[in-house]
Amino acid sequence: MLKEFKEFLARGNVLDLAVAVIIGAAFGKIVTSLVEGIIMPPVGLLLGKVDFANLFLVLDHSKGAPASLADAKAKGIPVIAYGAFINDIVNFVIIAFVIFLVVKIANSLRKKQEAATKDCPHCLTAIPLAATRCSGCCAELGAA
């Protein structure tokens, strides 16, 4: 069983997945920082200096009207903090758009790289257009 577990961990796709998760977490922090620190302040300014995070609806007025969401939480007043929800939706849309742009750029770079290769007629390995010998099967390809 230990041998099977080692083989499972040694597979390329498991290692690729681990690297993807780690890079994804680091990239997520960068995108979150971009959205919260750079993109959201101008959006809030354009919308009349509204800070979505502080929008709330008081459910119980018997304890008085809180001045802010933090005040309501400190006094134990039940509220619906819909502003945080709106903030999260806007963050999600912006993050999804940034990821879309990154994937689009990566795909265009990949297409350019694929266009700079040809397949070996003997083993079908992708090789550079200028190659005269295949790196996979060492077959002579002739002049490019």
| Domains in the chain: boundaries | 2-116
Q: Calculate mean pLDDT across residues 5-30.
A: 80
CATH 2.60.40.10, domain 2-116, yes or no: no
**Residues 77-106 pLDDT 10s:** 899 989 888 888 887 888 788 788 888 998
By the 8 A CB rule, do 66 and 75 touch?
yes
Only one residue has tokens 């397949």, namely: 119
Residue 87's contacts (CB-CB under 8 Å, 6 or more residues apart) are: 40, 52, 53
Q: Is the pLDDT of residue 23 over 80?
A: yes
Asked which of 88-92, 100-104, 127-131, 140-144 is least confident by mean pLDDT, the reply is 140-144
CB of 127 closer than 8 Å to CB of 119: yes
Name the packing angle between helices 12-34 and 2-10 (round to 10°): 50
Pick the range with the lowest mean pLDDT from 10-14, 52-56, 88-92, 93-97.
10-14
* pTM strictly above 0.75: no
Q: What is the pLDDT of residue 141?
A: 80
Across the chain, what does the average pLDDT equal?
82
- pLDDT at site 80: 92
For the chain, where are the alpha helices, taking DSSP H only?
2-10, 12-34, 40-46, 69-75, 82-115
**What is the longest distance spanned by two Cα atoms in the chain?**
88
**Token digits for 85?**
């929800």
Report the distance separating Cα 94 and Cα 100, nearest Å.
Answer: 10
